[in-house]
Amino acid sequence: MAENFLTLKQVTVQLGGVKLLDGLDWNIRRGEQWAVVGPSGGGKTLLAHTLQGLHFALGEIGTDGLKITMVEQQHRFRGRPGTTDLYYQQRFNSADAEATITVAEELAAAGGSGEPDGEWLGQLQVRALLTKPLIQLSNGENKRVQLAVALREKPDLLILDNPFLGLDVEGRGVLNGIINRLAAGGMPIILITGEHEIPACITHIGRLENGRWSFAGPKAAFRPMEHRHDIRLDPSILAQLHDADPAGEGVDPAGEGADHPVVTDHPVVICMRDVSIHYGETTILDQINWEVRQGERWSVSGPNGAGKSTLLSLITADNPQAYANPIWLFGRRRGTGETIWEIKQKIGFVSPELHLFFDSGASCFEVVASGLFDTIGLFRQLTPDQEARVLLWTELLSLQDLRMRRLPQLSAGQQRMVLLARALIKNPPMLILDEPCQGLDEEQTAYFRELITVLCEAFDKTLIYVSHYQHELPSCIDKFLRLEQGKHVG
């Protein structure tokens, strides 16, 4: 029998007075490759961080001096020494994006000398990215760079936390093959993933629920959970939201000037005519023509790097190149005197990158409330009506018990639900949801899909929805825009 490679005995972890891992036992023998699955908030990422020594734990953890490297769900971008703090819109500003380090500099910072892991640079398709600023990478590109950095550190154990999130079909296939090749080469792997995205190399599966194993054993004996999606939205809460001001308070975050009127009844919400976006010699969007009418529900799809995030940034007032293109939002030409707050107050927005820029000390209540003012953080006192609105939306998304907890204390899926509440808090006329179900478990995804359909139909909302997964699309979507290499192809 193979010797134990890693051992946990009665490991318990508490954060903020809440027990998140509860008397956990686990033995990994040499030659075993493990996947850890389970619902959002079950303790999967916390377990990985505990193995790295990032949390105080009761019990025994035997890692035998292993060098453990973890590829996180999200990459934290770093600026060059002496530059100012990074900001969300920086990736769309070519001049400021250059203040962030490049892929080559990120690899060099991992240590060593000479060309880093030449074989894997090729297999991960990273060489072509070496001169690009990290902040401008697509999700797929970023994940490959994260993995290249991790391999540069030559770990004894590699932990991958939901590496397939945000990747297109091709990207998931490429990463699946890389994981299988790593395992075949003798690299021990712990893969945190969904129950239906388990590579062939995985030999054992553990399902973690409420900080305890509900299953831990050979893959052949594992059976995926049967999920029941019998979801009921509280009609009384929906009625209260229907009676509330659908456009929020209409004020800019600095509190300057009178409230701006919110014009939402123009029949054409988005109009683009031969829109092109270039960064240096690179074309990101190439002569895009697109019209979205009030109340339409669109799916925007395409492979990683196709230009989807750039397209959305032109609508959300985050990209300065919008002024150089013929773009109309809610019937008004961009660059004719409107402020970015006049645009943002009509839009509820969420993206995978957005929560990276929130203060780690912010409570869930504060994060949700910040959506009233389109700020990344809450910088003003709420009125009683605004507080009541926050309470309504957190209750509708089953977040009422998490309101006062800090964002980093929550699982990735719980954080995502908080950011969804932030996007919905104004009950805005248009929702732009970029990979909104990333990090949610199957129950949460089903709930959110139904919620979006109910809201769009109840309030006649315009919807722009980006996802790489067909099963995540709300049933109300009936129009489709597909991008490939910056071009509109369908």
As a three-state string, the secondary structure of 318-342 is: CCHHHHHCCEEECCEECCCCCCHHH
Domain boundary among 221, 256, 278: 221
Residues 477, 336, single domain; the answer is yes
Residues 302, 429, single domain; the answer is yes
**What percent of the chain stands above pLDDT 70?**
85
Residue 99: what pLDDT?
59
Concatenating the DSSP letter of every residue in 151-210 gives HHT--SEEEEESTTTT--HHHHHHHHHHHHHHHHTT--EEEE--TT---TT--EEEEEET
Residue 474: what pLDDT?
94
* Range in 15-19, 20-24, 381-385, 477-481 the model is least confident about: 15-19
How far is it, in rounded angstroms, from Cα 120 to Cα 129?
13
Residue 112: what pLDDT?
47
CA dihedral sign of residues 355, 359, 109, 65: negative
Range of the domain at 107: 4-221
Residue 183: what pLDDT?
94
Residues 377, 414, single domain; the answer is yes
C-alpha closest to that of 47 among 94, 15, 86 = 15
Residues 11, 121, single domain; the answer is yes
Instruction: For residue 125, tell me if it sits in a domain.
Output: yes
Residues 435, 362, single domain; the answer is yes
What SS3 string covers 389-425? HHHHHHHHCCCHHHCCCEHHHCCHHHHHHHHHHHHHC
Instruction: For residue 239, tell me if it sits in a domain.
Output: yes
pLDDT over 50 at 317, yes or no: yes
Residue 338's pLDDT band (boundaries 50, 70, 90)? confident
Instruction: For residue 475, tell me if it sits in a domain.
Output: yes
Q: Lay out the sheet containing 18-29: strands in order across.
A: 18-29, 4-15, 58-62
Instruction: For residue 228, tell me if it sits in a domain.
Output: no
340-350 average pLDDT score: 88
Between residues 166 and 475, the one the model is more confident about: 475
CB 276 within 8 A of CB 289: no
Residue 387's pLDDT band (boundaries 50, 70, 90)? very high
Which residues make beta-bridge pairs with 433? Answer: 350, 465
Q: Work out the angle between the directed axes of helices 384-396 and 412-424 (0-180°, nearest 10).
A: 130
**What percent of the chain stands above pLDDT 90?**
41
Residues 239, 213, single domain; the answer is no
pLDDT over 50 at 254, yes or no: no
Residue 244: what pLDDT?
62
Residue 447: what pLDDT?
82
Residue 156: what pLDDT?
92
74-91 average pLDDT score: 52
Domain boundary among 198, 221, 244: 221
H or E segment to which residue 449 belongs: helix 442-459
How far is it, in rounded angstroms, from Cα 95 to Cα 90?
9
229-242 average pLDDT score: 69
Between residues 101 and 399, the one the model is more confident about: 399
How far is it, in rounded angstroms, from Cα 423 to Cα 444?
16
How far is it, in rounded angstroms, from Cα 170 to Cα 329?
33
Residues 244, 203, single domain; the answer is no
Residue 111: what pLDDT?
64
The CATH number of whichever domain residue 73 belongs to comes to 3.40.50.300
Residue 262's pLDDT band (boundaries 50, 70, 90)? very low
* Tens digits of residue pLDDT in 188-228: 999 999 888 899 999 999 999 999 999 999 999 999 877 65
Using the 8-state DSSP alphabet, how is residue 445 labeled?
Answer: H
* Burial profile 384-418: b = 16 or more Cβ within 10 angstroms, e = fewer: eebeebbbbbbebbebeebbebbbebbbbbbbbbb
Residue 296: what pLDDT?
96
Residue 414's pLDDT band (boundaries 50, 70, 90)? confident
Domain boundary among 163, 192, 221: 221
pLDDT over 60 at 82, yes or no: no
User: Global pTM?
Assistant: 0.78
Overall number of domains in the chain: 2
Residue 265's pLDDT band (boundaries 50, 70, 90)? low
Q: Which two tokens stand for residue 205?
A: 């599966």
Concatenating the DSSP letter of every residue in 235-295 gives HHHHHHHHHS-TTTT---TT--SSPPP-----SEEEEEEEEEEEETTEEEEEEEEEEEETT
Between residues 99 and 128, the one the model is more confident about: 128
Instruction: For residue 230, tell me if it sits in a domain.
Output: no
Residues 164, 283, single domain; the answer is no
Using the 8-state DSSP alphabet, how is residue 220 labeled?
Answer: G
H or E segment to which residue 386 belongs: helix 384-396
363-392 average pLDDT score: 90
Residue 380: what pLDDT?
86
Phi, psi of 59 (to 5 degrees): 100, -165
Instruction: For residue 288, tell me if it sits in a domain.
Output: yes
How far is it, in rounded angstroms, from Cα 300 to Cα 279?
22
C-alpha closest to that of 100 among 131, 149, 133 = 133
Compute the mean pLDDT over every residue in the chain, rounded to the nearest whole number. Answer: 83
Residues 216, 247, single domain; the answer is no
* Range in 206-210, 358-362, 414-418 the model is least confident about: 358-362
* Range in 194-198, 388-392, 445-449 the model is least confident about: 445-449
Residues 216, 284, single domain; the answer is no
* Tens digits of residue pLDDT in 6-34: 999 999 999 878 889 999 999 999 999 99
Residues 257, 203, single domain; the answer is no
Residue 245: what pLDDT?
52
Residue 239's pLDDT band (boundaries 50, 70, 90)? confident
Instruction: For residue 227, tell me if it sits in a domain.
Output: no
- Residue partners of 301: CB distance under 8 A and separation at least 6: 308, 466, 467, 468, 480, 481, 482, 483
How far is it, in rounded angstroms, from Cα 384 to Cα 243?
16
Instruction: For residue 70, tell me if it sits in a domain.
Output: yes
pLDDT over 50 at 246, yes or no: no
In order of 159, 165, 318, 319, 477, the CA distances from 312 in angstroms are 32, 19, 9, 9, 17
Residue whose entry in the numeric block shows the structure tokens 């377990």: 47
Maximum Cα–Cα distance for the chain, whole Å? 75
Phi, psi of 76 (to 5 degrees): -90, 115
Residue 61's pLDDT band (boundaries 50, 70, 90)? very high
Residues 199, 323, single domain; the answer is no
254-276 average pLDDT score: 66
Tell me whether residue 437 is exposed, middle or buried, using C-beta atoms within 10 angstroms of its C-beta: 0 to 12, 13 to 18, 19 or more: buried
Residue 161: what pLDDT?
93
